[in-house]
Amino acid sequence: MPAARQTRHERTAAEIVDAAWKLAAARGLAGFTLRDMAADVGMRAPSLYSYFGSKASIYDAMFIEGNRALMDRQQEWAASDSPTLHEAAAGFVEFCTENPTRYQLLFQRVIPGWHPSATAYASAVEVYDSMRARLAQLGVREAKHLDLWTALLTGLTDQQISNDPGGNRWSQLVDDAVDMFIAHTQGATS
């Protein structure tokens, strides 16, 4: 099997995961079935088992893909000429709010009975470590400040998604919130 290009099998597996994302966005992460996914890719439910061993393993694939996307996004921000805390914050909140379903999968536990497998969870740890290193470069080094930072951004994100989906009532407050954060922490971190 050539490693360089995607095999047919891998392409089909990716199609199934795409269908899962689409259905999750429409009906919620726990609101679709194997039959639904199969129908979306023109198959019957049992055929999915040629690609995934269980429904949980499909969630795993989505979880890994979501973390991969966040890692990619972070690297885009890092490539900016002079990355700032404001950009990092706006980027994170945008990443989360542009796909609330993905946010729920990555950061909340809303699927009854499902938890990411060990290998899937490792992808989340990788992302967090990368984010921590990046924040350190931008001057946020104290553990408490990092915790306050994550609380501030996830709080804005949660409110935005829960109470104004599709709008910008809370996401528009990101710059203001970062100003507040900087004013509060600069004496201790810079």
Please give the residue ranges that form the binding site for DNA (CB under 7 A): 9, 12, 33-35, 38, 42-47, 49-51, 54-56
Identity at 100, one-letter amino acid code: P
Cβ nearer to a copy of itself, comparing 38 with 173: 173
Residue from 36, 78, 173, 189 touching a copy of itself (CB under 8 A): that is 173
Nearest alpha carbon to residue 177 among 189, 165, 12, 154: 154
Asked if residue 62 binds a copy of itself (CB under 8 A), the reply is no
To the nearest whole angstrom, how small is the minimum distance from the Cβ of residue 49 to DNA? 5
Cα–Cα–Cα angle for 49, 53, 57, nearest 5°?
120
The one of DNA, a copy of itself, none whose footprint includes residue 42, by CB under 5 to 8 A per kind, is: DNA
Give the sign of the dihedral formed by CA 144, CA 171, CA 29, CA 71.
Answer: negative
Under rule CB under 8 A, which residues in 106-165 are in contact with a copy of itself?
107-110, 112-113, 144, 147-148, 150-156, 158-159, 162
Cβ-in-10-Å burial (0-12, 13-18, 19+) of 153 comes to buried
Asked if residue 9 binds a copy of itself (CB under 8 A), the reply is no
